[in-house]
Copies of this chain bind each other. A is one copy, B any other.
Amino acid sequence: MPVFARRPARRARQFDSLEQEAFLNVWRTYDRLRIEEDRLFERFDLSPQQYNALRILRAAHPRSLATLNLAEKLVSRAPDITRLLDKLARRGLIERERPETNRRTVEIRIGDAGLKLLEELAEPVRECHARQLGHLSRKQLAQLIALLREARGPHEEAGGSWG
């Protein structure tokens, strides 16, 4: 055994491949950043995913979105979209309607209360994201975004709103 092997590079022991290291870094970073996010939204009895649904509905406002159409715009996959919307509807944040033209679908629209809540959240959310990533330069952020997009590129369905 060569002498210089007595101090194996920390990374060489820790990861099996550069790709693994990259994935675990994505996972770890998500896990750390999520803490801020969770802390913010639990003060408003929202999950991050619920907030995102509201954010997407606001972008569509005053138009509505069909349930599954909304689901595929969400950041994270949501098989239980129905129950997620149930909770928002129970709080009066969204409105649901089964249109006569196609009674299979359920159209979702953000309501006034929902818009008001988002307005209330605007500043805290901005602050939260500043705490999360405010220490990076604009250039670093842009670079990170570009690299992440390339990283997940092959894993996005064509035509999705997240391509």
Chain A residues near B (Cβ < 8 Å): 13-14, 16-37, 48, 52, 55, 59, 75-77, 122, 125-126, 129-130, 132-136, 138, 140-145, 147-156, 162
> Are A13 and B151 interface neighbours, CB within 8 A?
no
B154 x A135 contact (CB < 8 A) = yes
17 further A-B pairs in the complex, CB-CB below 8 A; given A23-B129, A27-B75: A13-B59, A14-B59, A18-B141, A19-B133, A19-B134, A22-B144, A25-B149, A26-B148, A27-B30, A28-B148, A29-B151, A32-B156, A132-B155, A135-B150, A135-B153, A144-B151, A147-B147
CB of B144 within 8 A of CB of A147, answer yes
Of A140, A144, A153, chain B has the most CB atoms within 10 Å of the CB of A144
The docked-state distance in angstroms from the alpha carbon of A24 to that of B133 is: 12
Contact between A126 and B16 (Cβ–Cβ < 8 Å)? yes
Does B144 lie within 8 Å of A25, measured CB to CB? Answer: yes
A-B contact pairs, 8 of them (CB 8 A): A21-B145, A23-B129, A26-B29, A28-B148, A31-B76, A133-B151, A135-B153, A135-B154
**How many copies of this chain are found per oligomer?**
2
Instruction: Please tell me if the beta carbons of A30 and B30 are within 8 angstroms of each other in the complex.
Output: yes
Residue of B nearest to A132 (CB): B23
Cα(A148)–Cα(B133), bound, Å: 10
Residues of B within 8 A of A140 (CB): 147, 150
Q: Nearest-CB distance from A85 to chain B (Å)?
A: 19
CB-based nearest B residue for A153? B135
Q: Which residue of B lies closest to A48 (CB)?
A: B27
Q: How far is the CA of A20 from the CA of B143 in the complex (A)?
A: 14
Which of A18, A26, A35, A59 counts the most B-chain CB atoms under 10 A from its CB? A26
